Amino acid sequence: MASANKKFYWEPTPEIIAQSNLTAFLKRVGLPDFASLQKKGDQDPGWLMEHVFKFCDMRFYKPYDQILDVSRGLPWARWCVGGTTNVVLNCIDKYQGTPTWNKEFLVWEGEDPKQQRRFTYGEFNVEVCKLAAALKFLGIGKGDVVAVYMPNLPETFAAFFAIQKIGAIMMPLFSGFGPQPIVTRLNDGGAKVVITADGTWRRGAPGDMKTVLDEALGEVPSVKQVIVVRHMGDKLNTPMRAGRDHWWGDLVAGQPDDVPTEEMDAEAPAILLYTSGTTGKPKGCVWTHVSFLGSMVTRDMHICCDFKSTDRFFFMSDMGWMVGAMCACVPSMMGGSLLVVEGTPDYPDTGRFWRLIQDHKVTYVGVAPTLIRGLMRYGDEAVERYDLSSLRITCSGGEAWTETPWLWFFKHVCKEKIPIMNISGGTEVGGCIFTSTPHHPMKPSSFAGPGLGMGADIVDDSGKPVPAGQVGELVLRQASIGMTKSLWKDDARYLDSYWNTIPGIWVHGDFAMRDEDGLYYILGRSDDTIKVSGKRTGPSEIEGLLMETAKLSEVAVIGVPDPVKGSAIVCVCVPMPGVAPDKSLEDILSKAVVAGMGTSYRPKQVVFVNELPKTRNMKIMRRVVRAVFRGDSPGDLSALVNPEAVNELRQKIAAG
């Protein structure tokens, strides 16, 4: 994290400010700047959202009678009471009869760059309607849960909208899941249908998906129908069970291409998205037909982060993470376009991610810090040989940055001219707690300030605000429109997880601080905090020092019990390619920590591994690393994209 007296690395020009969506919105509501808007929005979230709806052309079949009802208390806030709408009304239907209908909406590229498919809004609507009709033919309707277990294909996004079009509830599943996490989620959600593909390409090799699903469905009695996209041709032998399994192509053949969209209560569940929990059970977060569009899509990405109808959005993410829903809704709600890509960012070659931006003229790219740390390993030339001049905005989220990868990205991708819209929120809040804007200067890892209408604050253990420069717990004092509507079938866990730690305040579980220049920072999960010799430290501070050595591609720092210091430092490191994981490297890393933090922070142990355990959104799971070192239960591992990393870590510890 940059210190308060360090120069800003990016500052907005008068032209950028004048042309921004935020400036247009401020003029609309008659306020002079973001600070006054943020204050007014926190005081009256209902006022804010009514103006957001008007500015972003949010459509309702029936207007709401009351914008916000908190009569039952903040945890049970209701939005747009009495109103009816649908996600599909706002993302697709409203463009019928307009020039946007014939505009290119979705471009897909497979692992083989020669494989491409393109859809206008009108053509995409045909795919959505045909699947919607097929689902109704199978007896699916309002309130039924339909799971989507698919790689990044055009059909994945058609399924996203088709399910909500008929009033059913869409349950995204990570395409890399094995059987057990699928079983857990399908049973908890009570899914009736699963939409999947025969398989997907994984670094040049065909990977089964349908057979993995079949293994899971042996333990899921609620699923009665399975729809399968034939994606791999004759590369896989895909078993099909008569009466249950249907090929997508056969099922939609002959179905109408114009199906009416169901009029839904504004707060009717639209998406059931699971996030990992610290126990063995994932948490089912519930988004409604008004909540995600009203928070992340319009308020955060359009107004604060400046996505425009002229932009092409590209965020390389699986549908199983909330960014999947962002990819579906952000460009479509605002009339923009979307690039969808199957596979990984560095295959079939290490420059693939940058080539995709160049070839498809991406203007608005999203990244996670982990992605950038991984691509940095291939050297500056891997990005410098591509023309990234189409880029207008970059966006980052999912985890806290450290300074080294932020500066690398800013230099080599942003060319020190393009802003990095850093955002942070979570599946449970359906939007941004902290955000960036094109009006604010930037430092490595910084945010402009709290998101709008969230009541975000940084407090001590008693709930009192802490001054600038002091680390505190990140909380919310308002029930934002995007917040999960309890947890699926678990009101008690919802209250215990978020509302009961400091009564009346949502405790998010992150440490944060504000610097003297008014910029904000996320410092990692509060349960990751390390207390050495009485001083509380976030692991990201130490990780930043280690990354500055340029010897590591990734690192996770944890605290383990120590009889003298309270906690001792353990560094679990992934060396850069070509860097030997030996005693010399261990000494370099240890000296870097001591030089930056003091001798009491000298690492007790430095462990070298091939990879760190990560979630499907590529967030490093420090709690899992810590649990393995302590011999504790690591809790829910179903969200890990690489569970083999846990076994490797156990072996390293056992070997001493």
Q: How far apart are the first and last CA of the chain?
A: 33
Question: For residues 437 and 22, is the Cβ–Cβ distance under 8 A?
Answer: yes
Asked whether 291 and 485 are in contact (CB, 8 A), the reply is yes
Rounded-to-integer distance, Cα 373 and Cα 234, Å: 37
Please report the pLDDT score of residue 4 as a whole number: 44
| Domains 94-103+119-262 and 529-654 are alike in CATH topology | no
List, as one string, the DSSP characters of 353-391.
Answer: HHHHHHHTT-SEEEE-HHHHHHHHTT-THHHHTS--TT-
With tokens 């030997």, the residue in question is 580
Residue with tokens 């499907």: 616
Sign of CA dihedral 218, 221, 225, 227: negative
What is the model's pLDDT at position 277?
Answer: 58
DSSP string across 34-81: HHHHHHHHHH-HHHHHHHHHHHTT---SB--SEEEE-TT-GGG-EEEE
The band of 653, judged by pLDDT with boundaries at 50, 70 and 90, is confident
Residues 591-622 pLDDT 10s: 999 988 888 889 999 999 999 998 766 678 88
Strands 506-514 and 520-525, sheet pairing: antiparallel
- How confident is the prediction for the chain on average, in pLDDT? 93
Tokens of 290: 């008004």
pLDDT > 70: percent of the chain: 96
The edge-to-edge listing of strands for the beta sheet with 337-341 is: 116-120, 104-109, 337-341, 312-315, 364-367, 393-396, 420-422
In this predicted structure, what is the pLDDT of residue 532?
76
Confidence of residue 274 (pLDDT cuts 50, 70, 90): very high
For range 243-272, the mean pLDDT? 97
- The domain spans of the chain are 14-86+300-524, 94-103+119-262, 529-654
> Phi and psi (nearest 5°) for 73?
105, 160
pLDDT for residue 332 is more than 60: yes
For the ranges 92-101, 362-371, 396-405, which has the lowest average pLDDT? 396-405
Would you place residue 533 in the very low, low, confident or very high pLDDT band (cuts 50, 70, 90)? low
Look-up of token digits 């220049």: 517
pLDDT score recorded for residue 616: 64
Which option is the CATH number for 529-654: 3.40.190.10, 3.40.50.300, 3.30.300.30, 1.10.3720.10?
3.30.300.30
Q: Taking 90 as the threshold, does the pLDDT of residue 370 lie above it?
A: no
pLDDT value of residue 2: 41
pLDDT value of residue 527: 67
Instruction: Please classify residue 534 by burial: count the beta carbons closer than 10 Å to its beta carbon, then call 0-12 exposed, 13-18 middle and 19+ buried.
Output: exposed
Name residues whose C-beta falls within 8 Å of residue 207's C-beta, 6 or more positions apart in sequence.
199, 200, 201
| Position 343 confidence tier, pLDDT thresholds 50, 70, 90 | very high
| Of residues 640 and 10, more confidently modeled | 10
pLDDT of the residue at 637: 75
Rounded mean pLDDT, 283-308? 97
The Cα 255–Cα 27 span in angstroms is: 47
**1 — pLDDT class (breaks 50, 70, 90):** very low
pLDDT in tens, 407-438: 999 999 999 999 999 999 989 999 999 999 99
pLDDT of res. 3:
41
pLDDT of 18 reads 98
Q: What is each CA distance from 268 to 78, 337, 491, in whole angstroms?
A: 11, 27, 17
Q: Are 371 and 395 in contact (CB under 8 A)?
A: no
According to the model, what pLDDT value does residue 6 have? 56
Sign of the CA dihedral with 644 first, then 202, 393, and 157 last: negative
Q: CB-based burial of residue 199 (10 Å sphere; 0-12 exposed, 13-18 middle, 19+ buried)?
A: buried
- Answer whether residue 457 shows pLDDT above 90: yes
DSSP letter assigned to residue 495:
I
pLDDT at 264: 98
pLDDT of residue 209: 96
CATH dotted code for 14-86+300-524: 3.40.50.12780
Q: Is the pLDDT of residue 233 over 80?
A: yes
Region 345-357 average pLDDT: 96
Q: Is the pLDDT of residue 531 over 50?
A: yes
Number of Cα atoms under 13 Å in the Cβ half of residue 655: 9
Instruction: Evaluate whether 302 touches 21 at the Cβ level (below 8 Å).
Output: yes
- pLDDT at 270 (0 to 100): 98
Mean pLDDT of 343-368: 96
CATH number of 94-103+119-262: 3.40.50.980
Q: Residue 281's pLDDT is what?
A: 79
CB atoms within 10 A of CB 549: 18
Q: pLDDT of 196-216, one tens digit each?
A: 999 999 999 999 999 999 999
Confidence of residue 535 (pLDDT cuts 50, 70, 90): low
pLDDT computed for residue 629 by the predictor:
87
DSSP E strand boundaries for 498-546: 506-514, 520-525, 530-532, 535-537
